[in-house]
Amino acid sequence: KCVSGAKESGRYKIKNDTGTPGKNISESRRNINDKFFDDIKFITALLSFPVFQVTVKEKQVEQIYILEDHKNKDALGRGALLPSGEFVVYAGSLSRRKETNSFKGSGPRLRKKLLEEEVVKIRDQSSYVFSRNYTFKSPSAAGDAISGRSTNGWTAWKDKDGKTLDDNLRSK
């Protein structure tokens, strides 16, 4: 159940998916295991490790936001703000390969991690492409990953009418 739950969430790449089918477990033992798994899900979420929290699919959200690099034309992200405050970037989004010289700290490390974990793959000389949906801790972290520079995600992500996240959610 742990392996299938982690796979279903789509948040992480599963390296060891050996699990037990559970066919030979008594009903009472299965109930104990299910309770234990519920406790594990609660504890991991409480500790900010959303291993089993399913990523919201693009068709399930009300508002899609776009982040486009108008100057360089090598970044075009599509994503949505989750009720948790996290921001999901959807598969197929383009991320700029080149980083600005002033881009320091956790942003470049996160982009390196995304490449190592094959969340993004090289598309061409100027862009990466997201191979799967990925949930970031904030709109700004998502914006940094897309643009290769520090961004204010609340003003960088815009809806189809050109309104920012800030306009739609915080300035009301």
Ranges of beta strands (E only) in the chain are 65-68, 76-81, 87-89, 94-96, 120-122, 127-130, 134-136
123, pLDDT greater than 60: yes
Identify which of 96, 149, 150, 90 has the alpha carbon closest to the alpha carbon of residue 123.
96
Q: Determine phi and psi for 121, rounding to 5 degrees.
A: -130, 155
- Residue 46 has a pLDDT of 61
Dist. CA 121–CA 140, nearest whole Å: 21
SS3 64: coil
Cα radius of gyration rounded to whole Å, the chain: 18
Tens-digit pLDDT profile for residues 133-159: 999 999 999 999 999 999 999 999 999
Local confidence band at 118 (pLDDT 50, 70, 90 cut-offs): very high
Token readout for 82 is 């989750």
Contact predicate 70/158, CB 8 Å = no
| Per-residue pLDDT tens over the stretch 63-73 | 899 999 877 78
The pLDDT > 70 percentage for the chain reads 74
Asked if the model's pLDDT at residue 58 lies above 60, the reply is no
What is the spatial distance between Cα 130 and Cα 83, in angstroms, rounded to a whole number?
A: 22
Instruction: Put residue 89 in one of left, alpha, beta given phi > 0 → left and psi -120 to 50 → alpha.
Output: beta
Q: Are 19 and 3 in contact (CB under 8 A)?
A: yes
| Residue 80 and residue 63 in contact, taking contact as beta carbons nearer than 8 Å | yes
Query: How confident is the model over 27-57, as pLDDT tens digits?
Result: 888 788 777 877 776 676 666 666 666 566 6
pTM of the shown model: 0.71
